[in-house]
Structure 1
Amino acid sequence: MKIYLVGGAIRDKLLKINVKDKDWVVVGSDIQSMLKLGFKLVGKDFPVFLHPTTYEEYALARTEYKNGHGYKGFKYYSTPFISLKEDLFRRDLTINAIAQDNLGNFYDPYNGLKDIKKRILRHVSSSFKDDPLRVLRVARFAAKLKYLNFKIHDSTLELMKIMSNSGELLYLKPERIWKETYLALKSNHPHIFFQILKKCNALSIIFPEINQLYGIPAPVKWHPEIDTGIHTMLTLKIISQLTKNVSTRFAALCHDLGKGLTPKKLWPRHPGHGIAGIPLIKKLCKKLKIPNNYKILSLLAAKIHDIIHDIYNQKPIDILNIYNIIDAWRKPERVEQIALISEADARGRLTLESLEYKQGKYFINMYKYISTLDIKNIINNFNLKGININKKIQKERIKLIKYFLKLKN
């Protein structure tokens, strides 16, 4: 029996990325032998074990073949006679198909070390196309490793197009799509993920709501880039520079979905696009089983992001209404989230990326000022009950907003 470290741990170590998880492959063993050594069997579809002390994953060397649709349409074959080379052959990218023994020696039959050096994302073999999830995985790796100048090899991108056009992506489970999307949104360049999906014809299948935005014009006065799809990617790029919070990034991605429903006769204007986007956001979140807090923030951002642009001209009652709508008093973090999304929207335009967005800070500082109101004092010192308490609080908040506006004018 021989044990090798494989996959992402080797890749990340070579790229000087913090290694979080280690995966191991076991050659020359079987299930019974592993159990006798104290390993715990956890794999449902193929033999994967947890180490008795480190709890790291150890998988028996295996081969696989396509036997149906989607990423689950596989049959796995594992015996003590399967070689390390055969096991690595089934992996997605050459940079993930490197093994290392306990002496530190690399086993690299598919030139992954060379591709790491050249910063290339390249498929190991034509069997890559058997697993449709790999289209999303490669797009996600492209986003994750963009800062290291990794690029997808032309042959791999061509294979991804073939996979997208085959109909196989339709069989992907929502949970798997969201997992890859979530990991992409966590990266430094999540817009690359969606751009790659667009490039290989997968965006129209996985995210038709976003794909629909491409080719839809916006007024050149406000949007030098003109195309709403391009604007959406620029917005995602900016928001990712402003915050690492994934729910905020996702909400920024969805902020203009309503423009995909604007009748052509109204182009390039998009009146009411924020409200129009609400059903699309709900549908997308339901389809991919996206967490509820992501959905709520996205709905709020769609409704409000344009209003923040015009915050200086809003009436005190309307400003208070914004804070009430986002439930800022119980969810204060939403104030900054909405401000950042509006900033990303304003700066996510060609030639305007360095724009100083004062409205966001204004919106945040006004909230901080209003939050100085002593609610307990109102409850304890005024003889009020029920709804009258809330009316008094709202009245006092209006006074503070008016005073804040005087101080700033």
Structure 2
Amino acid sequence: MQVYLVGGAVRDELLGRKIKERDYVVVGATPEQLLQLGYQQVGKDFPVFLHPKSKDEYALARTERKQGQGYTGFVCEFSANVTLEDDLRRRDLTVNAIAKADDGTLIDPYGGQQDLANRILRHVSEAFSEDPLRILRVARFGARYHYLGFSIANETQQLLTQMINRGELNTLTAERIWLECEKSLDDGAFAEFLNILAQLGALNAISPALAKNWNNELYQQLNDRYAYAQSQEITDKALLFAQATSSVTANDIKAISESIRLPNDVRDLALQLNAHQATLTSKTLSAEQLLTCCNQLDLWRRPERFTGLLLALEIANCGIFNNKQKLIKATDAAKTINPQQFIAQGIKGAQIKTALENARLEVLQQYFT
């Protein structure tokens, strides 16, 4: 039995990047052998095991055979006879197909080290085109390593274009598309991710609503916003994704939510930023407008919505916007008004709501005329 470190950990170590997780491939072993050694099996479609102490993932060397459509239509074949080179051949990019032995020796049958040196993302084999998910993965890697000068090899771009033109992206579920978007948001390279998809002609297949609004100005704007968010160590995915939809319509956001299957909190913040951005940043904001906004956001029961929206506006402005501190003071003061003080005065029924509205408006008028 031989064990090798593979994939992203080897790639990032060679690039001098921090290693986030370590994956291993096991050659010349059976599931029974690993179970006897105390490994815990977690894979259903193919044997993946957790190390009894480190909990790192160890997968038996395997090959894949396409059977059916989409990114799930594969049959995995594994046995003690599958070689390391066989296992590496099924991987997507040469830079991800490098293995490292315990003694530090690198096994690189497909030229991954040379492509790392040349800053090239190149597919390992023609089998690459069997998995449509790799279109998004290549775009994500291209975005993540853009700052290092990486580009997609011409022949890989041609293969990606052929896959896109065949409609391969239509086989991906909306949930799986969001997962790739989520990973790119984590990378801090979402603007570049969308831009690569647009250049490849894939963005329209993922989200027509995003594609129709994509242009160089928006690309640069998003780069600036994400750079600011990174400088402030802001990593919340809802705050970051909302920047990409701040200039589209509410109906567009709802369409994007369906095609990408946004989590509810991501969708809701995108809609809130879309609805209230112009009002809250206006130099002529009135107390009445602010009260309407607060009511629509249900500030009184869900204050975190308003807090999140203000932070989203700050990112969009690439800095503290003029109204922010005054908005915080005004709404904090208005939140101290509660129904109990009117009930104690003997006010009943629908009149309580009217009294609340009037009292909150009076407070807000101290800050916004």
TM-score by structure 1 length? 0.81
What is the match of residue 71 of structure 1? 71
Shifted more, 113-122 versus 373-382: the winner is: 373-382
1:315 aligns with 2:286: yes
Q: Aligned ranges for residues 134-213 of structure 1 at < 5 Å?
A: 134-213=134-213
RMSD of Structure 2 on Structure 1 (CA): 2.4
Is 1:2 the counterpart of 2:35? The answer is no
Question: Residues 62 and 284 from structure 1, CA distance in 2 versus in 1: closer, same or farther, beyond 3 angstroms?
Answer: same
Question: Which residue does the alignment assign to 2:129?
Answer: 129
Q: Distance in 1 between matches of 2:182 and 2:145?
A: 15
Runs of 4+ in 1 over 6 A off after TM superposition: none
Instruction: Tell whether the 8 Å contact from 1:239 to 1:340 is kept in structure 2 after alignment.
Output: no
1:328 aligned onto 2:299: yes
- Write the distance in 2 (CA, Å) between the matches of 1:64 and 1:8: 20
* Distance of 1:338 and 1:234 partners within structure 2: 22
Matches within 5 A, 1:179-328: 179-214=179-214, 229-240=215-226, 241-242=228-229, 243-258=234-249, 277-278=250-251, 280-309=252-281, 311-328=282-299
Amino acid paired to 1:250: F
Of the structure 1 ranges 371-380 and 61-70, higher mean CA displacement relative to structure 2 is found in: 371-380
Amino acid corresponding to residue 314 of structure 1 in structure 2: L
**What is residue 402 of structure 1 aligned with on the other side?**
365
Q: Structure 1 counterpart of 2:24, which letter?
A: W
Contact 1:5 1:25 in 2 (8 A): yes
Q: Distance in 2 between matches of 1:387 and 1:379?
A: 11
* AA aligned opposite 1:317: E
Asked if the contact 2:95/2:113 (under 8 Å) is kept, the reply is yes
- 8 Å CA contact retained: 1:147, 1:188: no
1:362 to 323, 339, 348: 323
- Structure 1's 378 and 292: CA in aligned 2 closer, same or farther, altered over 3 A? same
How far 1:130 moved relative to its partner?
A: 1.2
Structure 2 length as normaliser, TM-score? 0.89
- Give % identity: 36
- State how far apart, in whole Å, the 2-side matches of 1:233 and 1:145 are: 17
- 2:341 maps to 1:378: yes
- How far the C-alpha of 1:3 sits from its partner, in A, is 0.6
TM-fit CA distance, 1:80:
1.1
Distance 1:77 1:152 in 2: 30
Amino acid at match of 1:326: L
Contact 2:174–2:258 (Cα < 8 Å) also in 1: no
Aligned to 1:34: 34
Distance 2:38 2:189 in 1: 42
Counterparts of 2:96 and 2:71 in 1: how far apart (Å)? 18
Q: Which amino acid aligns with 1:393?
A: L
